[in-house]
Structure 1
Amino acid sequence: MLRWSILAFALFLMATNSNVMSGVLPEIARDLHASVGQVAVSITLYAPVIALTSPVVSIVVPAWSRTGLMAAGLVVALLGMIVAAPAPDLVTFTVGRVLAVLGGAALVPTATAAGAAIVGPESRGAAIAFVSCGFTLATAVGSPLGTAVAAASSWRVPLLGMVGLGFGLLISLLLLVRRVPVSPPIGLTQRLTVLRDPRILLLC
């Protein structure tokens, strides 16, 4: 349960970082001397970038230690937050946001899969559900709280706060979420097989 909680917190942190800036776009735009629309684009990069890079990460480094991959993703995400928090202009802010997304692309799917991998087959559904609660909590608690803090102080404050929480998470991952089984690698062809199902294409 402790390891599940650590993995759930990883998803919570990434999801909060993704959404927390949405409520203070005018303030960010004013500080960065940009338009609200330009800042909004830099923030909404999360979805397409993570959709494109997550499969690439799993294909390129299939044999990496899951703990090492999660830690590497978290370090990149924290680096992105560190770059974005004091950003003096839109370009620097966008670079930081993209770095944070790339880190999330390595961390989020790996953490979700790790939750299922560290338990027996009979508990995998419960593990995935528990870890995925990190997203739910981010929507219900993390993002509104972070937005409130940003509105009361500065949009940079919640980013710096998440950096501090992230370093605590990094230590917890390295010390407590170890020896995660690595699943056999799945090639690109196998991953795309699902697209042959007409029901999937209809949903798209």
Structure 2
Amino acid sequence: MNKILMLSLGAFALGIDAYIMAGLLPGIAVGFDVSISGAGQTVSVFTLCYAISAPLFGALTAGKPARLVLAAALTIFTLANALSAVTTDFSLLLLTRAAAGIGAGLYTPTALSTAASFVSHARRGRALGTVVGGLAMGTAVGVPCGLLLAQSLGWRATMWLVTALGALALAGILLRLPNGAAATPPSLRQRIAVLVDPRVAATIAVSFVTSAGSIGLYTYVAPLLHASAGVADALPYLWAWSLGGLIGIYLSGVIIDATGRPEWVMAGILVGMTIVFGSMAWALPDTALAFIWFAVWGAAAWSTPQQHRLLSLHPDKGSIAVALQSSAHYAGSAAGAAVGGLALRVGASLTQLPALPGLMLAVALIGQIGIAVWSRSSDRDRADQDQPQPATISEAATGELL
């Protein structure tokens, strides 16, 4: 098996694990006799540990043999999922989800830097895209397939599927990956150095809030559909979300390339998401409209203008920009799932839940419009500075003498 495809297989397993729990919440809630808001914290702990461990372990493992780091990460990830599949104690389930998040956070930056080290500089983007594509495919294709398995054999069978994929990737890493040090992933200090750029900080803040709203609602999508429209099977809607996501990845890139304005593309995406979330309460009872809403939501959630924006701000520090965006996404996901669970716990109904992420997205939209206006003003100022300045009288006279 191609070395980069092996790395992508591990990313595929991670992509499933990061989002599969949202579709499994009803079964987990019943199986452990906990509330939906309590079950939702299985998403929060995974994504929070992922967001924290990615930059932390990326710094601590710098210079270590790539095969050793990747094998350790997949061992933690695989064992954690196996324990998730067998535990009968909810507190232990939360601990295993946290451990799986740590393993995922350790794996991703090392896998990206390792993939980059295998190819020439000219092919580095393709190699990184293959690994990131594994994450995307894990979510877009793996999650619905995992939920289909859960419908037949229960949610624990899905955990065993993720365990098997992790074990397969681990075996491939141990047997086929060269025992050399990968390119050093960006350290915590390097990330902070880029983050102090106010343009980067503002972009990351919008990404954080957007993920909090979008993935915060995605976490509770199965019980939301049941409460709003009596839907017992959320799988077709998640397929619509996933297929919309694949379309969004492609279309957003095309639009950004055509316009050269990722900040305005993001503003347009946030307008669409705000409308979808603000109107979701009355849209969900209409089956056809609900499918359209889910597809639009998925397309917006998977679009890539923020990555383009960060890469354009620091083209020489692309790996750091991508790492910052990833951390913002997963930290926001954890915050959104936690806030949604808290809202349910203090008395909000499931049918009222979309209003909260809708408000978050409205805030993100206001911030993004500010970024877009700021960026346009900065571009205009730079263009003015690049224009030849009119010569002063003394300079003109000197030129004539020369």
TM-score (norm. length: structure 2): 0.49
Q: Which structure ranks higher in relative contact order (CA pairs < 8 Å, sequence separation ≥ 6)?
A: 1
Q: Which runs of 4+ in 1 moved over 4 A?
A: 184-187
Match of 2:176 in 1: 176
Aligned ranges 1:48-59 → 2 under 5 Å: 48-59=48-59
Tell me, yes or no, if the aligned pair for 1:117 and 1:180 is still in contact at 8 Å.
Answer: no
Tell me, yes or no, if the aligned pair for 1:78 and 1:163 is still in contact at 8 Å.
Answer: yes
Tell me, yes or no, if the aligned pair for 2:21 and 2:43 is still in contact at 8 Å.
Answer: yes
Alpha-carbon offset, residue 188 of structure 1: 3.5
Tell me, yes or no, if the aligned pair for 1:21 and 1:147 is still in contact at 8 Å.
Answer: no
Q: SS at 2:88's partner residue?
A: coil
Tell me, yes or no, if the aligned pair for 2:87 and 2:93 is still in contact at 8 Å.
Answer: yes
In structure 2, do the counterparts of structure 1 residues 28 and 187 end up closer, same or farther at CA, with 3 Å as the change threshold?
closer
Match of 1:134 in 2: 134
Match of 1:73 in 2: 73
Tell me, yes or no, if the aligned pair for 1:6 and 1:173 is still in contact at 8 Å.
Answer: yes
Task: Write the distance in 2 (CA, Å) between the matches of 1:81 and 1:66.
Answer: 22
How many equivalent pairs are there?
Answer: 204
Alpha-carbon offset, residue 47 of structure 1: 2.4
Alpha-carbon offset, residue 161 of structure 1: 2.1
The C-alpha deviation readout for 1:21-66, integer Å capped at 9, x for no partner, is: 2112111111111111111112232222211111111222212111
Letter matched to residue 29 of structure 2: A
Match of 1:15 in 2: 15
Task: Write the distance in 1 (CA, Å) between the matches of 2:153 and 2:132.
Answer: 30
Once structures 1 and 2 are overlaid, which stretch shifts more, 69-78 or 13-22?
13-22
Tell me, yes or no, if the aligned pair for 2:53 and 2:102 is still in contact at 8 Å.
Answer: yes
Letter matched to residue 148 of structure 1: L
Does structure 1 residue 120 correspond to structure 2 residue 120? yes
Letter matched to residue 138 of structure 1: G
Q: SS at 1:85's partner residue?
A: helix
Match of 1:32 in 2: 32
Alpha-carbon offset, residue 196 of structure 1: 1.9
Task: Write the distance in 2 (CA, Å) between the matches of 1:59 and 1:109.
Answer: 10
The C-alpha deviation readout for 1:97-136, integer Å capped at 9, x for no partner, is: 1111111111111112211111111110110011111012
Q: SS at 2:86's partner residue?
A: coil
Letter matched to residue 112 of structure 2: T
Unaligned stretches of 5+ residues in structure 2: 206-402
Amino-acid identity (%) = 26
Letter matched to residue 173 of structure 2: L
In structure 2, do the counterparts of structure 1 residues 188 and 165 end up closer, same or farther at CA, with 3 Å as the change threshold?
closer
Task: Write the distance in 2 (CA, Å) between the matches of 1:184 and 1:14.
Answer: 21
Does structure 1 residue 41 correspond to structure 2 residue 41? yes
Tell me, yes or no, if the aligned pair for 1:118 and 1:181 is still in contact at 8 Å.
Answer: no
The C-alpha deviation readout for 1:48-88, integer Å capped at 9, x for no partner, is: 22111111112222121111101000000111111111121
Match of 1:85 in 2: 85
In structure 2, do the counterparts of structure 1 residues 184 and 113 end up closer, same or farther at CA, with 3 Å as the change threshold?
closer
Alpha-carbon offset, residue 185 of structure 1: 7.2
Letter matched to residue 79 of structure 1: L
Once structures 1 and 2 are overlaid, which stretch shifts more, 3-12 or 175-184?
175-184
Task: Write the distance in 2 (CA, Å) between the matches of 1:200 and 1:96.
Answer: 34
Task: Write the distance in 2 (CA, Å) between the matches of 1:87 and 1:188.
Answer: 35
Once structures 1 and 2 are overlaid, which stretch shifts more, 171-180 or 98-107?
171-180
Tell me, yes or no, if the aligned pair for 2:113 and 2:184 is still in contact at 8 Å.
Answer: no
Task: Write the distance in 1 (CA, Å) between the matches of 2:54 and 2:114.
Answer: 15
TM-score (norm. length: structure 1): 0.93
Match of 2:384 in 1: none
Tell me, yes or no, if the aligned pair for 2:84 and 2:93 is still in contact at 8 Å.
Answer: yes
